[in-house]
Amino acid sequence: MRAARVFLLASLLGLAACSPALTPASEDRCGPPPPTPKPLASLGHDPKPFETRHSPEKTYGGKTSGYLYRFEREDSGTTESLRAVHMIREGRVLVVGDHGTALVRDAKAGWQKEDPGTTEDLHALVVAPHDENGESITEERRKNPPYLAVGSNGVAVFRDPTGVWRVESTGTTANLFALHHLGQTTVAVGAGGVMVERSREGVWRTVKTRTTADLYALESCGGHLCAVGAAGTMVLCKSRDEELVCIPRPPPTQATLRVIDGSQLMGDGVWLSSVPTDKPEPRPPPTFTPWPVAKEFIAGEEMRAREHNHYGGISEMLAVGRRGTVWFQGRLADERDRIERVKLPFQADFHDVAYELVDGFLVGDQGTIVHLGVEGVALMHICLL
Amino acid sequence: MKISPAPLLAALLCALSACAKVPRINTSPDTPMLTEPKRALELGEVSRGDTRSPDYGIGSSCKNGGRAGQALDHFYGFEVREAASYRFEFVPETFNGVIQVLNKKEKARPGRLAIGCKAARPGGKVALSLPFEPGLYWVVVDGNLWDEAGTYTLRVDRDTSKTAVIRPEDPAIVAPLCASAPLVRPGERTYGTFESKSGGARASCGLLGGGSVHRLSLAAKARIRLRAAAHFQPALEIRSGCHDKPVVCAHADAGQYEVEVTADLPAGDHFVVLDSTRIGDRNPNGSHLDEARIAGVYVIDAEEVAQ
């Protein structure tokens, strides 16, 4: 009996050495819960910002009363159409638009103009690939990446981390409307079905798309790089022998498609969803069909862009369209059917949106910039021991 | 209370033993591991061996049990000169054995990639059929369980059976494809998805066979040009009847994903077969039976050209 007790004691001692989670003080080692995130101080000039309550998620114990979403216009200092925005959390917010407009948000001085070195319209903006393998990403580097923008007449401009812009030659004179990263390369699509691919070093080359339709959006979907555009044009690209091979697909709609969101395509009055397949690998390419759930939310609308926001405590997609329309969609598996359309009291057509944690920026015609601040978000307290 | 330290020590030893190194059977720490096979597997010939005298090669990564580092194996190289399905027949006469076939990966991804694996009990016979493209592959004979080793026979042959991934067209499979073949119209683009299929429609200049058959219906004789582009390297063939010999067949060159054929065709129905010249990408995570299938999209642009 005594031997058994000693054996039990020894076993427990051994377990404790291997399993720190079982030690009595484990719950004290999580530290305090994260502070409630606060939105950026608004540069707004609306006497009464538009406010709405909205519940981004219900699972994982998320709030059921909803957070307060405050939309407030900010003075951009321009009347040019603003086409693309990129935001880095607690870092730079950069906007580009027509006639070589480039604006950087300064918390004190407001939106400041930069000179991108071109007067062409700039339609799309991304952070350019910049991190080397094995390189430490410091906070300074995270907040000051290089950017790449493309636009009319095949223009591409590169903004280095010091804020210096330079124009690059893409080899095309077609208008370029969208950008997407594919590993170390960046791909742009545009008018007449043109597609160009930029190496990390800034060398551009043409990719054959086998379509002449205008292409407005470019994203990953169903294991492919997908491009969509006018008259429901859809092109699926795959990397083969280190080159992109693009093959058009039968148009899933006759409407213009402008947004790709993984298993969904959106555009002018249409919201399509991918058709599920139970076929084993290799899976057939994705096919899309109108999504009945979204029909009432997209009828008569034109969705232009979308952005995802995923944090513990908030998880949703925010999309923007014409005449001040925005959409929220739950992004968790059991929330995808939950779509909400909101009409903002700003008549501008929106072209792009950035949205991360408790801040968002919507940009559009007539120099419109709308700041979205989300109040009351409580982050989940995740503790790994 | 007096406690004897013996049980405590026994328990601690017991707990520590889980982390302790277990010496490898039949090896010493100085035994070099083979990185290239020292045996060759020849087509149509029986290889015999006894893994109680092991090569200490790369070992099988799919065996059911064993100790880390234990490689009671025989390590073969197998050179494929012609793209086809090959069938491995393995009989571990006196031990619980396993064979594993591996791709000696291409330059882009160094290392090895398991593409097939099968185990057999002592005296049992197993067969493993896999499609291959020309190249050098590795075959490992190993124990399927701890310390299992013994005599075995191993033989590899071309697989022309009805279960082979790569095999000639099967008229019973192709006839319904012709009967329901979607039209290719001059001046129009035809969209399709190719799915490889054993015994399916196979272009005479293609390799894999699949379900892509189209019908070209001409009211009068015409010179027709077809251009196909695909996410795989396509082969394109025109035949006048579903099972007839080809009028024309062309395949994309290595690294190309487009092909073009032109043919003077009489009035009537003709069949266009789109095939792949390559097997599909191997599963990058390895597999016990990688059939290298393809599911990829294509377009065919048809036009009538001046004679």
Give residue for tokens 């899976």: A283
Q: Is B68 exposed, middle or buried (0-12, 13-18, 19+ CB in 10 A)?
A: exposed
Residue A61's pLDDT is what? 53
- Nearest C-alpha in A relative to B17: A14
Report the gap between the CA of B288 and the closest CA in chain A (Å).
Answer: 14
Cβ pairs bridging A and B (under 8 Å): 65
Mean pLDDT of chain A: 88
* Co-location of B104 and B230 in the same domain: no
Q: How many domains does chain A have?
A: 1
Is the dihedral angle over the CA atoms B186, B190, B194, B198 positive or is it negative? negative
B299 plus B176 within the same structural domain: yes
Q: Are residues B136 and B231 in the same domain?
A: no
Boundary (domain end) residue, out of B158, B187, B212: B158
Asked if residue B235 is part of any domain, the answer here is: yes
Evaluate whether residue A134 is within a structural domain: no
Residue A306 lies in a domain: no
Structural contact between residues A318 and A358, judged by C-beta atoms closer than 8 angstroms:
no
Please name the amino acid found at residue A171. G
The answer to whether A58 and A51 have CB atoms below 8 angstroms apart is: no
User: d(Cα A87, Cα A110) in Å, to the nearest integer?
Assistant: 15
Radius of gyration of chain B (CA): 26
pLDDT attached to residue B289? 85
Whole-angstrom Cα distance, residue B132 to residue B149?
28
A interface with B, Cβ–Cβ below 8 Å:
2-3, 6-7, 9-11, 14, 210, 236, 238, 240-241, 245, 247-250, 279, 281-285
Q: Are residues B191 and B126 in the same domain?
A: no
**What whole-number distance in Å separates Cα of residue B191 and Cα of residue B189?**
7
For the beta carbon of residue A98, count every other beta carbon within 10 angstroms.
20
Q: CB-based contacts of A106: which residues, under 8 Å, 6+ apart?
A: A112
With CA atoms as reference, report the closest residue to A155 among A135, A175, A138, A139. Answer: A175
Q: What is the mean pLDDT of residues A63-79?
A: 86
**Whether the Cβ atoms of residue A375 and residue A39 lie closer than 8 Å to each other:** yes
Chain B residue with minimum CA distance to A2: B3
**CB-CB under 8 Å, B299 with A11:** no
Strands (E) in chain B, as ranges, are 39-40, 46-50, 74-80, 84-92, 97-104, 112-120, 126-132, 135-143, 151-158, 189-201, 210, 213-218, 222-230, 234-239, 246-251, 258-265, 268-276, 295-305
More confident: A77 or A20? A77
Judge whether A365 lies within some domain.
yes
Domain boundary among the residues B158, B191, B216 is at B158
Helices B5-17 and A2-18, packing angle to 10 deg: 40
Contact B189 A248 (CB under 8 A): yes
Kindly tell me the burial class for residue B44, based on how many C-beta atoms sit within 10 Å of its own C-beta (0-12, 13-18, 19 or more): exposed
Whether the pLDDT of residue B182 is over 80: the answer is yes
User: Is A97 a member of any domain?
Assistant: no
Domain count for chain B, please give it.
Answer: 2
Rounding to the nearest 10 degrees, give the CA dihedral for residues A344, A348, A354, A356. -20
Phi, psi of B180 (to 5 degrees): -110, 20
Q: What is the pLDDT of residue B256?
A: 95
Chain A neighbors of B15, CB-CB under 8 A: 10-11, 14
| Structure tokens belonging to residue A41 | 């101080």
Beta bridge partners of A240: A243
More confident residue, B252 or A346: B252
Inter-residue contact B65 to B146 (CB < 8 Å): yes
In a domain? residue B8: no
Which of the residue ranges A237-251, A275-289, B13-27 has the most confident prediction, judged by mean pLDDT? A237-251
The CATH number of the domain holding residue B64 is 2.60.120.380
Q: How far is B254 from chain A (nearest CA, A)?
A: 10
CB contact under 8 A, A282 and B281: yes
- Determine the structural domain holding residue A320 and report its residue range: 41-75+311-378
Does residue A1 carry a pLDDT above 50?
Answer: no
Residue A24: C-alpha distances to residues A17, A31, A46, A164, B58 (Å) = 13, 15, 53, 55, 46
CB-closest option in A2, A11, A238 to B231: A238
Q: Residue B92 has what pLDDT?
A: 97
* Residue A236 CB contacts under 8 Å (≥ 6 apart), including other chains: A222, A224, A225, A226, A246, A247, A248, A249, A285, A286, B231, B297
Would you state the structure tokens that stand for residue A241, as one six-digit string?
A: 């022998």
Residues of B in contact with A282 (CB under 8 A): 280-281, 293-296
Contact A323, A347 (CB under 8 A): yes
Q: Check whether residue B119 and residue B234 sit in a common domain.
A: no
SS3 A297: helix
Residues in CB range of A10: below 8 A, 6 or more apart = B7, B8, B11, B12, B15
d(CA B107, CA B116): 21
Give the burial class of A150: count Cβ atoms within 10 A of its Cβ; 0-12 exposed, 13-18 middle, 19 or more buried: buried
Task: Name every chain A residue with its beta carbon within 8 A of the beta carbon of B191.
Answer: 248-250
Interface contact B3-A14, CB threshold 8 A: no
Is the confidence at residue A320, as pLDDT, over 80? yes
Nearest by Cα to B304 from B240, B247, B222, B237: B222
Cα–Cα distance, A224 to B102 (Å, whole number): 27
Same domain membership, residue B176 and residue B112 = no
Residues in chain A closer than 8 A to B195 (CB atoms): 284
Kindly determine whether residue A6 and residue B293, on different chains, have CB atoms separated by under 8 Å: no
**Is A335 domain-assigned?**
yes
> Which residues does B125 contact at the CB level (< 8 Å), separation at least 6?
B89, B90, B91
Nearest to A275, CA basis, from A266, A285, A267, A335? A285
- Whole-number pLDDT of residue A288: 95
pLDDT reading at A150 higher than 80:
yes
Q: Is residue A56 part of a domain?
A: yes
Mark whether B266 and B294 lie in a shared domain. yes
Q: State whether B152 and B224 are in the same domain.
A: no
Burial status of residue B83 (CB atoms within 10 A of its CB: 0-12, 13-18, 19 or more) = middle
Residues A291 and A273: beta-carbon distance below 8 Å: yes
Whether A56 shows a pLDDT value over 80: the answer reads no
Q: What is the structure's pLDDT at A135?
A: 75
d(CA A310, nearest CA chain B) in Å: 29
Q: Which of residues 238-267 of B touch A (CB under 8 A)?
A: 255, 257
Write out chain B residues lying below 8 Å of A240, CB-based: 231, 257
> Does position B144 have pLDDT exceeding 70, yes or no?
yes
**Distance from the B2 Cα atom to the nearest Cα atom in chain A, whole angstroms:** 10
Q: For residue B153, what are the domain limits?
A: 23-158
- pLDDT band of B50, cuts 50, 70, 90: very high
Q: What is the pLDDT of residues A350-381, one digit of tens each?
A: 999 999 999 999 999 999 999 999 998 877 77
Q: Average pLDDT in the A278-282 region? A: 80
What is residue A209's three-state secondary structure?
A: coil
Choice among A60-69, A101-110, B83-92, B252-261 with the minimum mean pLDDT: A60-69
Top residue of B256, B297, B301 to mutate, by most chain A CBs within 10 Å, is B297
Model confidence pTM above 0.90: no
Interface of B with A in 155-184 (CB under 8 A): none
Q: Long-range CB contacts (< 8 A, 24+ apart) of B282-288?
A: B282/B103, B282/B113, B282/B115, B283/A281, B283/B115, B284/B109, B284/B113, B286/B61, B286/B113, B286/B114, B286/B115, B287/B114, B287/B115, B287/B116, B288/B62, B288/B114, B288/B116, B288/B117, B288/B118
Residues B298 and B186 in one domain: yes
The answer to whether the CB atoms of A282 and B297 lie below 8 A apart is no
Q: Do B149 and B187 share a domain, yes or no?
A: no
| Higher pLDDT among residues B65 and A340, named by residue | A340
Cβ atoms within 10 Å, residue A349: 18
Please give the mean pLDDT across all residues of chain B: 87
Answer left, alpha or beta for residue B108, where phi above 0 means left and psi between -120 and 50 means alpha: alpha
Question: Does any domain span residue A371?
Answer: yes
Query: Would you call B8 and A241 a contact, using CB atoms and an 8 Å cutoff?
Result: no
What is the rounded distance in angstroms from the CA atom of residue B198 to the CA atom of residue B201?
A: 9
Do the domain assignments include residue B163? Answer: no
Answer yes or no: do B231 and A210 touch at CB < 8 A: no
CB contact under 8 A, A6 and B11: yes
Closest Cβ opposite residue B297 in set A3, A240, A247: A247
Task: Kindly report, residue by residue over A17-46, the tens digit of the pLDDT.
Answer: 434 343 445 556 778 888 888 999 989 878
Which of B135, B158, B181 corresponds to the end of one domain?
B158
Point out the residue among B11, B230, B296 whose CB comes nearest to the CB of A11.
Answer: B11
Q: Are residues B191 and B297 in the same domain?
A: yes
Asked whether residue B278 carries a pLDDT value surpassing 70, the answer given is yes
| Degrees to nearest 5, angle at CA B215 with B214 and B218 | 145
Residue A342 lies in a domain: yes
SS (H, E, C) A302-365: EEEEEEEEEECCEEEEEEEECCCEEEEEECCHHHCCCEEEEECCCCCCEEEEEEECCEEEEEEH
Rounded Cα distance between A364 and A85, Å, is 10
Q: Within this chain, do residues B106 and B184 fall inside the same structural domain, yes or no?
A: no
